[in-house]
Structure 1
């Protein structure tokens, strides 16, 4: 079924269209949930909540060409995950000391990072503290600015920058440790 037809079917409550939508996008959206939740059981709960929200919000979806349905569904899913983090006070903002702000993490090169399997990298991201993980995902994967992240998470821009710095530092350390032993 073509994306536009699939969206119209879901908008009209067509069960077959809703099943196809789930079958087509559940894996991708579960990966989004995993990036924010950190564990599979919570990610599956978030996926369920995201699909309920998606099915209930089709009146707000506007088809804008190929890929717009997937992009909209990913945005809804990210918002569900962020709401889960906010309502559980899981963002744990930590300000970065001004004196340490200029220091950059000793990040591995792209070649070094490419030697780490994707599933290992994703595990490292999933093991980050919730706030660090949320900011890392929003900045590095979703490509939001610190101003946008601050608005989304209800924190200030400095906290967003601080959490990204700390996430990158932890990830760099984990990658370096992995490369020493593999």
Structure 2
């Protein structure tokens, strides 16, 4: 079924269309949840919560061309996860990584291209929740530190600091991987 028709049928409460929407997008939306939440059961719960919000708020969706439905659903899913993180005060429980320098040398882009995407995603998932959340919002959702601060209820400096620490930790992991796998 075409994306626009599917969206319109979901807006009308068509359960067959909702089932098709879920089956078509659940895997991708689960990946979005897993970018922020490492516990698969919690991510699964948030996936279902996110789909309930999607189904309840189709009146807020505006078709803007191919891909706009998926992009809107991803925003709803990210907001569902962020709401969970705020409710559980995860940002204030951030554990500091020992020996993470404030200044670091970014790995060469060509060397990063050699590392399998699955390995890079594992490195991101291994970051403490606060670092991972800020990193994901900045890199994948393309949010500014001001937007991140508003979304997470933290100040901009905290967002910038957590991003630097996340990048430094990732740079260290990448260098280690390159040394062991080159």
- Give TM-score scaled by structure 1 length: 0.91
1:140 and 2:139 matched: yes
Between 79-88 and 62-71, the greater mean CA deviation after superposition: 62-71
Query: Which runs of 5 or more structure 1 residues have no equivalent in the other structure?
Result: 95-100
Which residue matches 2:111? 112
Distance across 2 between alignment mates of 1:122 and 1:172? 13
Distance across 2 between alignment mates of 1:175 and 1:115? 10
- Secondary structure in structure 2 of the residue aligned to 1:92: helix
Shift of 1:93: 7.2
1:56 and 2:31 matched: no
- Alignment size in residue pairs: 177
Which residue matches 2:151? 152
Shift of 1:92: 3.0
**Is contact 1:10–1:55 with CA below 8 Å preserved after alignment?**
yes
Shift of 1:45: 1.5
Which residue matches 2:121? 122
Q: What does the per-residue CA deviation read over 1:65-112, in whole Å, with 9 as the maximum and x for residues that have no partner?
A: 211111110000000010111111111377xxxxxx9x5321211111
Shift of 1:15: 1.1
Residues 39 and 93 of structure 1, relative CA distance in 2, 3 Å threshold: closer
Written as runs of structure 1 = structure 2, the 5 A alignment for 1:12-23 is 12-23=12-23
1:24 and 2:24 matched: yes
* Cα-Cα RMSD: 1.8
**Is contact 1:32–1:77 with CA below 8 Å preserved after alignment?**
yes
Distance across 1 between alignment mates of 2:138 and 2:70? 19
Shift of 1:30: 0.9
Which residue matches 1:72? 72
**Is contact 1:39–1:126 with CA below 8 Å preserved after alignment?**
no
**Is contact 1:93–1:159 with CA below 8 Å preserved after alignment?**
no
Distance across 1 between alignment mates of 2:103 and 2:70? 35
- Secondary structure in structure 2 of the residue aligned to 1:38: coil
